[in-house]
Structure 1
């Protein structure tokens, strides 16, 4: 574990160490020059090629170095959660009868996670890195000695609940579900009317894996997952003006519940970075965060919610595989990929518009 340095320094050291361990062929897949804008803005959460060098093509020692870099971009709880999600590929393979292939020899494979570096890792930057595979997408951008972007950050779980001995349940994203359900159940009739967008939950997070999100975005048109009427889909479309109930209209206890829920998303990244993000929603700043819900509120009913406010969009969806398949994402609509800070850096230091 690397301690005693800031996150940018820890990421740079881990990235350089990993890159130095690769042979020429591996490095050609793993590293791209800065900024490689189109590729850098591409991200996924489905079991497809995420771009870069997959764990499958690394020696065990290189895999360890790759995961060491991933750990620099996550809190301890975030790293454990992501690791559990990756391990669920073995569980999902069994659930699907060992049949999924996705055009490769093994479709559900905990080694099909890709790591890619953009630019030359340094404490100053600019450079960035991305790690992703099925249900995991983590990325950070570094410049001027600090991490300036940590979104989009996606975590999913399929199955969302799996039996353990005891009996107990493995629920990597259980807090994202339970805290939100507690909050929506605490609302009075007037608050509920403001919060509920539709009785039908969308089939997925509405923003999908688009590099940019904005007004009018609707859930991806997947025919096999489409449900509800056109008006149900329109009700959950993304808008710049947040939908739902603002924290300003919640009780003090409800705002505490909302903050605890928000911390589940912000707490994915290292503590120093999470504290900086949480400060954006301290005290009265939390009042502008809106909570919106679609679908049922009872466990086992398809449901969706989002938190939206200034520089914040957190989405959650659990509708697929008999309501046992969770998607969650945390985004900064203005600063995903660190683009706002990086653009300002280019203008100020390199004369680019």
Structure 2
């Protein structure tokens, strides 16, 4: 970690600590009992901090519904401290899409809550004391999961970082289209379609897309990970209401039926430590710039100076592998993966007739800052 008190990661940590403390100071004792979690560690007592979701389930923490307007503003101030302006606008837009999705579905979705599509059911939790040496915070709800860790006054981890959009495409007045993750999708397609036949054949692993992200919301990723059914990625194994559970299971089954993945298909696309697809070193100059721009749609979600984009020199870009599954025509269900040292990115737009997008940026070796926490424990204990 840098010693410079003015480094961007220290500046970000300072802003986060101030926003977190300001928010916590407005909470009642009852609210704080929900809003504050255990001090981050690299041990089993830190398991809750490392649980993350992107389904409309209980993400853990104080919901926006449970806060006054002043408290909600404080919560969003903390969220903003971990995002670039573009990242913040995207998060706010994704939250607002809950109202759009509710209309699309006929205002009937419920799951295990009063309202299934609810922009007030986004959860914030601070782990530890913002004035202490080790603390973090998590913000999440349907299609948003932000996970940040501060150690010794420096922001050391911002992954997993998940953003989705449902609907991925929706109309605005005047014929304009609302696509919050447009470039995240389009740059991937532009890259694969630009490849000469030999590289295309190596990059496209399958001609059909999986139903979801391959590593889904696992706390850690490991060799052989495969897609899980939708019904398996909620906080609780079952809904209390048998009827709602049956609806979820039926939806989960339909998604898997549409994907039509065999065991062999899953084996082709499963996560492996050895990256699949083609490497950045195989690409020409213009293609490398598209790859760099695509990485930026993930890295630049966090504040300027914290984003790793500037560190991706030619050597780093050489080591990033790109793989695709599904057709490359716009509007068709598809998936891509970017993988390299300390990097795993996944995108899919497959469900709801390819109008339901997921994107995640991870560091398989250091998600949730576990590498820094282990080093910190070794130094101080």
What's the TM-score, normalizing by structure 1? 0.95
Deviation at 1:230, TM superposition (A): 1.9
Q: Deviations over 1:229-252 (max 9, x none)?
A: 222111110000100000011111
Aligned to 2:298: 265
CA distance in 1, matches of 2:160, 2:139: 11
Matched, 1:57 2:105: no
Matched, 1:307 2:338: yes
CA distance in 1, matches of 2:268, 2:16: 41
Deviation at 1:278, TM superposition (A): 2.2
Number of positions where the alignment pairs a residue of Structure 1 with one of Structure 2: 344
Q: Deviations over 1:186-205 (max 9, x none)?
A: 00000001101111111000
Q: Which moved more, 1:215-224 or 1:43-52?
A: 215-224
Aligned to 1:111: 120
Matched, 1:205 2:235: no
Note the 1:90-239 alignment, pairs <5 A.
Answer: 90-122=99-131, 125-222=133-230, 223-226=253-256, 227-239=260-272
Task: Give ranges in structure 2 of 5+ residues lacking alignment.
Answer: 1-7, 231-252
Deviation at 1:151, TM superposition (A): 0.2
Q: Deviations over 1:104-143 (max 9, x none)?
A: 2211110100000110003x62101000000000011000
Q: Which moved more, 1:32-41 or 1:286-295?
A: 32-41
CA distance in 1, matches of 2:204, 2:318: 18
Q: Which moved more, 1:27-36 or 1:314-323?
A: 27-36
Q: Deviations over 1:30-75 (max 9, x none)?
A: 0012134110110000000000100000000000000000000010
CA distance in 2, matches of 1:335, 1:194: 29
Query: Match for 1:285 among 298, 316, 332?
Result: 316
Structure 1 segments of 4+ aligned residues over 3 angstroms from their partners? none
CA distance in 2, matches of 1:10, 1:316: 30
Aligned to 1:43: 52
Task: Give ranges in structure 1 of 5+ residues lacking alignment.
Answer: none
Aligned to 1:347: 378
Q: Deviations over 1:75-100 (max 9, x none)?
A: 00000000000000000000000000
Give the conservation status (yes or no) of the 8 Å contact 2:345–2:362.
Answer: yes
Q: Deviations over 1:204-238 (max 9, x none)?
A: 00111000001100011343322222221111100
CA distance in 2, matches of 1:224, 1:312: 32
Aligned to 2:275: 242
CA distance in 1, matches of 2:215, 2:188: 19
Aligned to 1:14: 19
CA distance in 2, matches of 1:142, 1:133: 22
Deviation at 1:279, TM superposition (A): 4.1
Aligned to 1:32: 37
3-state SS in 2 of match to 1:272:
coil
CA distance in 1, matches of 2:140, 2:179: 20
Query: Match for 1:322 among 332, 353, 356?
Result: 353
3-state SS in 2 of match to 1:137:
strand
Aligned to 2:243: none
CA distance in 2, matches of 1:295, 1:289: 20
Superposed CA RMSD in Å reads 1.2
